[in-house]
Structure 1
Amino acid sequence: MSSSVGGGGGGSAAGSGGDIAGLLDKAKELDQLRKEQDEVAIEINKMHKKILASPEMVDKSADTILVRLRALYVHAKELADSEVSTSSAVIGLLDGLLQSGVSAAPRKKIEVGEQKKKRMKSDTDTTRFSSTSMRSQLDQAANLKGEQVAARVKSDEEKDEWFVVKVIHFDKETKEFEVLDEEPGDDDESGQKFERKYKLPMPYIIPFPKKGDPSSAQDFGQGRQVLAVYPGTTALYRATVAAHRKRKSDDYLLWFDDDEEDGNLPQRAVPFYRVVALPEGHRQ
């Protein structure tokens, strides 16, 4: 970010710069919270419509439906509380900037160019690997060779498709992964099964937690939306955590979106090492 500030007061300018950086971080956090709230609201409205369209659903499996609906509302409340807290923090930062006179001085302004905006987006994308330096992120990506990861192999205006793939190679120069879908593809003209390989940028890859190290996994609470491998497949879909786990090594019990059986949403058990955070803006 470039700031155009006239006059002296180097210490004040440095302090203001820190406040502004904090303000931008909180603004990004607030934006993400609102997006998550919109997603939860959509899921709640879907359930309301299903209940209204088929009231007998509640009679058949009241516990399952009401527990899931409650979990969604609990998550919505948590997000709303977080939004209040983050908004208060933003107001506090703005008050501090106003008191320091940054906005009152003539020709004092903050200019954010297109390149900076792109870099900010890139920074957000690469946090899937770590919050350390780019070199460390590249090293971490290179160390995934031979590992299975979650990969967005296809994306269009309607949906994203995520699959379990194996990392063949990572190019530090282009920041691209070469991955292999180990599930055999359709027959080619000769009748042979063909392998599907893809070259994907870093934001399209999410490392899985280590199978033998539960501490490497995030702990997603009840009602949280995640991306998880559907049992018996290598495809990942959006799901909601149905219950709290006692231990980090326990399987998750999940409700997968649109996974209805006789009008009910069954709970599916998925190992912790096949569950990752739901990517921002995921379409299914």
Structure 2
Amino acid sequence: MSSSVGGGGGGGGADIASLLEKAKELDQLKKDQDEVVAEINKMHKKVLATPETVDKAVDSFLLKLRGLYARAKELSESEISASTALIGLLDGLLQSGASTAQRKKMVGDQKKKRIKSDTDTARFSAVRNQLDQAANLKGEQVAARVKSDDEKDEWFVVKVIHFDKETKEYEVLDEEPGDDEESTQKKYKLPMSCIIPFPKKGDPSSAPDFGHGRQVLAVYPGTTALYRATVASHRKRKSDDYILEFDDDEEDGSLPQRAVPFYRVVALPEGHRQ
């Protein structure tokens, strides 16, 4: 029986050293066994070739042969013992490798949980900030979609009266309803998706800059209603008015260009119907 073993990862250095040492011992036992077997074979051949020689010294011959067999048995038992020890060392290394893999998996799982926790925390923080910003709009004028159907969205300038963080609803006041309204002022309760804050009048730097050709939602001059419009020219300063062309605002076959303050222009909502 021959053996060849190399070092590897997964087990400790002491375990690998023991494994190599036991493998060397097993190799030496095999070499010793081969020598004994070779000597036994020589004696067998001698019996077959010259039996008369054996007859003259039969006791001496048999005692030597018996000694060789006893040695062979001893070496064989030592080989079994060494092999068993090697198997035990290998099992230990394999279990250690499995434990290492399990530890790596646990560390990986912990990293995933930490990443998920960090993501959840970031998401919660973003939602909380959004709710805080919504609550801070109290008393401010905003753009609100107060009516919506399959054909048309109606947006107006309204004033925020209250924001409920539990229901995530705004209570708003239409301060200047049209002539067809039953009362001079009307209140609405609207979800967050129906509200767009206006840029701050006193802080042009905080307002988005919509370039030439961009479609926006803007307050039509002289009204509190917002309509879709297209930016008609480039502004030199962020505080300048936008020059807009409103959809369906034709005069003599062309769209007039109208000036609208930057703080009355917001991004066009996705899927807007007009």
Question: Could you tell me the TM-score, scaled by structure 2's length?
Answer: 0.55
Match of residue 203 from structure 1: 193
Shift of 1:185: 4.8
In 2: Cα distance, 1:133 partner to 1:162 partner: 27
Report the residue type matching 1:240 in the other structure.
Answer: T
Match of residue 216 from structure 1: 206
Q: Do 1:186 and 1:193's aligned partners in 2 also have CA atoms closer than 8 Å?
A: no
1:161 aligns with 2:154: yes
Q: Give the total of aligned pairs.
A: 162
- Give per-residue Cα distances to partners, 1:10-36, cap 9 Å, x unaligned: 49x96xx99xx9xxxxxxxxxxxxxxx
Shift of 1:181: 0.4
Report the residue type matching 1:205 in the other structure.
Answer: I
Report the residue type matching 2:176 in the other structure.
Answer: E
Shift of 1:186: 4.4
Shift of 1:195: 1.7
Shift of 1:132: 6.2
- Give per-residue Cα distances to partners, 1:212-267, cap 9 Å, x unaligned: 10011000000000000000000000000001100000000001001100001110
Cα distance change on mapping 1:132 and 1:219 into 2, 3 Å: farther
Match of residue 268 from structure 2: 278
SS at match of 1:210: coil
Match of residue 168 from structure 2: 175
In 1: Cα distance, 2:222 partner to 2:198 partner: 17
Gaps of 5+ in 2: 1-103
- Give per-residue Cα distances to partners, 1:83-128, cap 9 Å, x unaligned: xxxxxxxxxxxxxxxxxxxxxxxxxxxxxxxxxxxxxxxx9xxxxx
Q: Do 1:153 and 1:161's aligned partners in 2 also have CA atoms closer than 8 Å?
A: yes
1:243 aligns with 2:233: yes
SS at match of 2:134: helix
Shift of 1:184: 4.0
Q: Do 1:185 and 1:195's aligned partners in 2 also have CA atoms closer than 8 Å?
A: no
- Give per-residue Cα distances to partners, 1:122-157, cap 9 Å, x unaligned: x9xxxxxxx961111111111101100000000000
Report the residue type matching 1:196 in the other structure.
Answer: K
Report the residue type matching 1:202 in the other structure.
Answer: M
Match of residue 218 from structure 2: 228
Report the residue type matching 1:194 in the other structure.
Answer: T
In 2: Cα distance, 1:176 partner to 1:250 partner: 33
Gaps of 5+ in 1: 1-6, 22-122, 124-130
Match of residue 28 from structure 1: none
SS at match of 2:213: coil
Match of residue 254 from structure 1: 244
Q: Do 2:213 and 2:232's aligned partners in 1 also have CA atoms closer than 8 Å?
A: yes
Question: Superposed, which structure 2 residues align to 1:1-284 within 5 Å?
Answer: 10=108, 133-186=126-179, 193-284=183-274
In 2: Cα distance, 1:132 partner to 1:283 partner: 33
Q: Do 2:176 and 2:184's aligned partners in 1 also have CA atoms closer than 8 Å?
A: no
SS at match of 1:133: helix
Report the residue type matching 1:246 in the other structure.
Answer: K
Report the residue type matching 2:150 in the other structure.
Answer: E
Match of residue 87 from structure 1: none
Alignment root-mean-square deviation, CA: 2.6
In 2: Cα distance, 1:193 partner to 1:169 partner: 20
Which structure: larger Rg? 2
Shift of 1:160: 0.4
In 2: Cα distance, 1:144 partner to 1:256 partner: 28
In 2: Cα distance, 1:144 partner to 1:10 partner: 43
Cα distance change on mapping 1:250 and 1:187 into 2, 3 Å: closer
Shift of 1:193: 3.6
In 2: Cα distance, 1:185 partner to 1:278 partner: 23
In 1: Cα distance, 2:206 partner to 2:151 partner: 32
Cα distance change on mapping 1:257 and 1:186 into 2, 3 Å: closer
In 2: Cα distance, 1:216 partner to 1:158 partner: 33
Identity rate of aligned residues, in percent?
Answer: 81
